[in-house]
Amino acid sequence: MRPLGAYKVAVENRKRPSILALSRQKLPHLPGTSIEGVEKGGYVISDNSTGNKPDLIVLGTGSELEIAAKAADVLRKEGKTKYIGASGKAIGIDKFGASAPAGKIYEEYGITVERASLQQPRAFKITV
C-alpha cells in the first residue's frame, strides 16, 4: 500500500536484497499507513484493543490490506474479539498463474471480507 516507502527502504538499504511487488489494481490510500511504518517492517492501521493484549489481530499485506481492514471493521461491529494466537486461520492463495481481474480472483479463492469475518473466533491473516 506504500510503494514510496518500500522504494525508499530498498534504495537506502544496501546490505540486503529488496523487491517491489506492485499491482495494477486501483487501490485506496488507507489511513494509518506511513513511510515510517514501512521502514519498521509493518504498522497498525486500526487498533481497538484494551490493555496490553489485543482482542483481535488481523494481518494484511499489499493489495489485500483493504480486505483485511474491512473484515476487522465487520468483526469489531459484531463484537467478535476473541484472540487464539497460533491456532489462527490463514486465508490466502497457494497457487501461481491465475489471471483475471482482482475481484474475480479474490472471489474464486475466497479472499473476501465475508469469509474473513467468518473466521472468528480465531485470529487470521490474509496473504497472497
d(CA 72, CA 69): 5
Question: Which residue has better confidence, 11 or 42?
Answer: 11
The 10s digit of each residue's pLDDT in 105-121 is: 888 887 877 777 665 44
Residues 63 and 21 in one domain: no
The 10s digit of each residue's pLDDT in 46-99 is: 776 666 666 667 777 778 888 888 887 777 777 665 544 455 566 666 777 788
d(CA 28, CA 119): 24
Residues 65 and 124 in one domain: yes
Residues 89 and 26 in one domain: no
Residue 79: give its domain's CATH number: 3.40.50.920
* DSSP 8-state symbol, 51: S
Structural domain that includes position 30: 1-45
Q: Label residue 77 exposed, middle or buried (CB < 10 Å: 0-12, 13-18, 19+).
A: exposed
pTM reported for the whole predicted model: 0.55
Residues 112 and 123 in one domain: yes
d(CA 72, CA 4): 25
Residues 12 and 68 in one domain: no
Residues 115 and 52 in one domain: yes
